[in-house]
Amino acid sequence: MDTAFLEELIEYKVAPEPLIAIQGLLNTHDYERDEELLGDPAAAADWLAGAGLLKKGGTVTEEEYRDLLWLRQTLREILEAQSHADLDKEAVNALRQLSDKYPAGYDVSEEGLVTLCLKPVDTTEELIGQLVGIVGMAQDLDWWKRLKICAADDCRWAFYDSSKNRGGTWCRMEVCGNRTKNRRYRSKN
């Protein structure tokens, strides 16, 4: 995983490794500028290789491309529902389907410790399983609820809330939070 590449994309409120891979994937579509970094399977393969998630020369088939975008959308829906203390059963079911279709790989140490394989993989099939596994790891470490989607409708950037009370709402208070508060103020007057 190339954390410098992912940090450059994310810029601020960066999740710890390996959750940064999920945050990076979530931010491959810029809602504010309507820019898509994963525009087709070749662009997705290039981005994934640049992020150090897929080995150079790895490929993304049409089906894997659709499923990668489906995973991204599913995780966004789960995080958005989570921010309202809801459960999106359809998104959970979609995540289950992806998990069943793309099982995660594991490493076993010389001492017999089993851990999620986090090495760059050869195929997107392996990568989707690894990404689902990272979600599970983040849940076990109590990091998952800190990954949030900015509440600003024109932003929707994924950010990591490291505040003590986990009360973050916007990716950047000075930008999205301020803009939202100013709109509310103007609408009242």
Query: At 105, which CATH number?
Result: 1.10.3300.10
Pair of tokens at residue 34: 């309507």
Confidence (pLDDT) at 114: 94
More confident residue, 32 or 100: 100
Number of structural domains (the chain) is 1
Q: Is the pLDDT of residue 174 over 80?
A: no
Q: Taking phi first (over 0 means left), then psi (-120 to 50 degrees means alpha), and beta for anything else, what does residue 13 get?
A: left
* Contact predicate 155/32, CB 8 Å: yes
Confidence band for 86, pLDDT divided at 50, 70 and 90: confident
Element (H, E) at 147: strand 147-149
* Contact predicate 159/35, CB 8 Å: no
What is the pLDDT averaged over residues 160-179? Answer: 77
Confidence (pLDDT) at 186: 57
Pair of tokens at residue 164: 């003590």
Confidence (pLDDT) at 84: 83
Confidence band for 166, pLDDT divided at 50, 70 and 90: confident
* Contact predicate 171/149, CB 8 Å: no
Confidence (pLDDT) at 171: 82
Confidence band for 127, pLDDT divided at 50, 70 and 90: very high
What is the pLDDT averaged over residues 124-133? Answer: 96
Q: Which structural domain, as residue segments, surrounds residue 89? A: 3-188
Confidence (pLDDT) at 85: 80
Confidence (pLDDT) at 189: 62
What is the pLDDT averaged over residues 106-125? Answer: 93
pTM of the model: 0.89
pLDDT, tens digit, 9 for 90 and up, residues 1-44: 999 999 999 988 999 999 999 999 999 998 888 899 999 999 99
